[in-house]
């Protein structure tokens, strides 16, 4: 039993399972937007399938990221102790882990509806492909944002089998929000990326300009939060959650400077994780009370 627990912990660490807090809350928003409609009811089986899809897709994506970057991770002092370069998880085992999770993701979508099954390979290409974009474009942050932005629209489609403007707006929120904070996170590897011919906005444009770009992108995020409230006819709980989310969005830019990166982890992980969870809770509460 102890051996199994240790093995599970190794793979949870490999995929940074705690970072599920970035996309999962928005998947729950997408699900809630759908079941809040008069023609759809809450379905616990469907909710569990959506959660499983999120877990399997993210496991495959993060596993592939670690596998694809293993050579660079071994050279980078910040990442050299990660599971694959340090030998905690063998390359072959990591490959098997990725394949199993990718297959489980596709199989799970088959139990949801035909459209989710048809779109599942497209989703995999996007979320796995992100890991390779750092080799040829500084826009890699936006590919990561695009991958996570599939969460709300994917969950909505899982319930309704159709597209709608409101979950797309939430997807744009995720795309810009994630892209902006990923730029902040990548500040840590500015010099390493340049010396190893890897692309990012900090390594291409410089730290100061990259931070300015991140601010601009998050202004777009704020704009779309407001649009979501307007289109979705948000009430008290929505706007309360929006204020908290926007405050935390602004807060992370006050604690990270181009010449002082000591609080990047606080901005990237803690602040954005709290922002995502609280925003989702308030949005779902808003939808729940309107249903009542």
Note the CATH number of domain 21-291.
1.10.357.140
Contacts of 115 (CB under 8 A, 6+ apart): 157, 161, 162
* pLDDT tens, N- to C-terminus, the chain (292 residues): 666 677 778 888 888 777 778 899 999 999 999 999 888 889 999 999 999 999 999 999 999 999 999 999 999 999 999 999 999 999 999 999 999 999 999 999 999 999 999 999 999 999 999 999 999 999 999 999 999 999 999 999 999 999 899 999 999 999 999 999 999 999 999 999 999 999 999 999 999 999 999 999 999 999 999 999 999 999 999 999 999 999 999 999 999 988 888 888 877 778 999 999 999 999 999 999 877 5
What is the total residue count of the chain? 292
Report pTM.
0.94
In DSSP terms, 260 is beta-bridged to: 257
**pLDDT tens-digit readout, 205-235:** 999 999 999 999 999 999 999 999 999 999 9
Domain boundary assignment for the chain: 21-291
Mean pLDDT of the chain: 93
Neighbouring C-beta atoms of residue 125, cutoff 10 Å: 11
Q: What's the CA angle centered on 123, arms 112 and 252, to 5 degrees? A: 110
Of 132, 105, 100, which Cα lies nearest the Cα of 116? 105
pLDDT of residue 8: 78
Structure tokens given for 205: 């444009």
pLDDT of residue 20: 79
């Amino acid at each position: 039993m102890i051996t199994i627990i240790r093995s599970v912990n190794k793979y949870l660490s490999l995929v940074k399972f705690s970072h599920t807090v970035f996309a999962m809350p928005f998947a729950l928003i997408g699900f809630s937007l759908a079941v809040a409609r008069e023609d759809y009811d809450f379905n616990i089986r469907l909710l569990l399938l959506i959660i499983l899809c999120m877990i399997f897709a993210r496991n495959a994506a993060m596993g592939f990221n670690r596998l694809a970057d293993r050579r660079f991770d071994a050279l980078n002092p910040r990442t050299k102790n990660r599971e694959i370069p340090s030998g905690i998880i063998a390359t072959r085992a990591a490959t098997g882990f990725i394949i199993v999770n990718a297959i489980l993701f596709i199989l799970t979508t088959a139990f949801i509806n035909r459209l989710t099954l048809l779109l599942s390979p497209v989703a995999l290409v996007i979320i796995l492909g992100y890991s390779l974009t750092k080799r040829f474009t500084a826009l890699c942050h936006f590919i990561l944002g695009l991958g996570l932005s599939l969460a709300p629209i994917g969950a909505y489609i899982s319930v309704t089998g159709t597209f709608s403007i409101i979950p797309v707006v939430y997807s744009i929120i995720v795309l810009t929000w994630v892209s902006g904070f990923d730029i902040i996170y990548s500040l840590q590897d500015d010099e390493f990326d340049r010396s190893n011919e890897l692309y990012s906005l900090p390594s291409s444009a410089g730290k100061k300009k990259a931070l300015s770009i991140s601010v601009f992108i998050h202004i777009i995020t704020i704009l779309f939060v407001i649009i979501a409230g307007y289109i979705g006819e948000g009430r008290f709980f929505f706007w309360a959650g929006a204020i908290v989310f926007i405050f935390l969005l602004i807060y992370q830019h006050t604690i990270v400077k181009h010449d002082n990166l000591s609080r990047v982890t606080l901005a990237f992980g803690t602040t954005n994780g709290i922002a995502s969870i609280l925003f989702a809770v308030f949005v779902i509460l808003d939808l729940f009370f309107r249903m009542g």
